A = this chain, B = another copy of it.
Amino acid sequence: MTHPLDLTADVVALTRALVDLPSESGREAELADAVEAALRALPHLTVERVGDSVVACTGLGRAERALIAGHLDTVPAAGNLPSRLADGRVHGLGACDMKGGVAVALRLAAGIPEPVRDVTYVFYECEEVEGDRNGLARIGAEHPALLADAGLAILMEPSDAGVEAGCQGILTADIMVGGARAHTARAWQGVNAAHKAARVLQRLDDHMPERVVIDGLEYREGLSAVAVRAGVAGNVVPDECVVTVNFRFAPSRSAEEAEAYVRGLFPEYEVRVAEVVPGASPHLDRIGGLVRALGAEPRAKLGWTDVARFAALGVPALNYGPGDPSLAHTAGEYVPVEHLERCESRLRAWLS
């Protein structure tokens, strides 16, 4: 153990220690070792290791169990190591996304041996990469009971220390526009699929996304072409143009409904759906007490986050963590000390 973690250090020092222990996706082992060792040293927690994810549970027999989760991995470094404290902010790789949130959760795990509700802490690997490597998904698949007995979940993704409830779903599909090849010297002998794609792109430009209100929160949808590909050779009329669309849909739509919606917009084209992941409803009816305790006006989460994985398990979840989400994955990311302290104190109050 070359880097023992001191969970009694203040949240700023702990955030910096976590930043200074690099853990790019797929290389979280050393950090997971350090987290596991620190938590195993605490007699009030039962600790399990799943790959390079660590799960720690209190077992006080409380009527309610909350789950607090954060991912250990970061995107690759961008000249932003080691950590640096300046202007009331911790700077450095992962400070915002999301070692600040992990530090808060580790402080709670270590510092509250007898919370008023049981807590399952989950520190997981590979959130920043393909979904099939996601540590939370792996725990859900291999040890579903570790997640499913929670009554609610708090995902400590950066949310400006505010409450972001639920999340939107994502559909990705290719709209196939066909034509007929010809030599461009005799273009009239073919049908130019790129020209014909104008109708698809114009329809996307004209499309008015819906604004869906759930539990008083507005989920604003979006349907975007994210790629257009056509081209056979410089002297050939292309016989295919592929328009890839990305649909961000409100959690009121199921995956099937989202797919039917997109197909219905392009009934005369072949639509190849590559991926649909449903969103998560805010469930303010079930997490209202927590939201009130956190003292923040809830907002709709528009991006997709792992709260949807909890939703799929029937566990209502929200995003609540320190840091500005728009700084995530930027070389200049940082987390304000004030956010770290506020998140810790609000959650500490709710658990004590």
Name the contact of A187 in the complex, choosing from B183, B196, B224 (C-beta under 8 A).
Answer: B224
Chain A contributes a number of interface residues (CB within 8 A of B) equal to 47
- How far, in whole Å, are A282 and B25 apart by their CA atoms in the complex? 66
Given known A201-B195, A204-B192, A243-B194, contact A226–B222 (CB-CB < 8 A): no
Complex: how many Å from CA A300 to CA B199?
A: 34
Q: Is A303 a contact of B183 with CB atoms below 8 Å?
A: yes
Q: When A192-B204, A196-B205, A246-B235 are in contact, do A184 and B227 touch as well, CB less than 8 Å?
A: no
CB distance from A280 to the nearest CB of B (A): 14
Contact A184 B229 (CB under 8 A): no
How far, in whole Å, are A303 and B192 apart by their CA atoms in the complex?
Answer: 18
- Nearest-neighbor residue (CB-CB) of A274 within chain B: B234
A225: interface (CB < 8 Å): yes
For A225, the chain B residues whose CB sits under 8 A away are 192, 194-195, 230, 238
CB distance from A337 to the nearest CB of B (A): 27
Chain B proximity mask over A210-245: 1 for CB below 8 Å, otherwise 0:
000000000010111111111111111110010110
Q: Does A319 contact B (CB under 8 A)?
A: no
Q: In the complex, what residues of B have CB within 8 A of residue A186's CB?
A: 222, 302
Tell me whether A352 is interfacial, beta carbon within 8 Å: no
Residues in chain B near residue A237, CB distance under 8 A: 224, 226
Answer whether residue A9 sits at the interface, using C-beta atoms and an 8 A cutoff. no
Bound CA–CA A183/B326 (angstroms) = 10
User: Are B187 and A227 in contact, CB atoms less than 8 angstroms apart?
Assistant: no
B-side contacts of A172, CB under 8 Å: 234
Contact of A231 among B168, B199, B229 (CB under 8 A): B229
Question: Taking the nearest CB of chain B, how far is it from the CB of A248, in angstroms?
Answer: 5
- Decide: A226 near B236, CB < 8 A? Known: A184-B246, A198-B205, A304-B185: yes
Chain A contact residues, CB within 8 Å of chain B: 168, 172, 183-188, 192, 194-202, 204-205, 209, 220, 222-238, 241, 243-244, 246, 248, 302-304
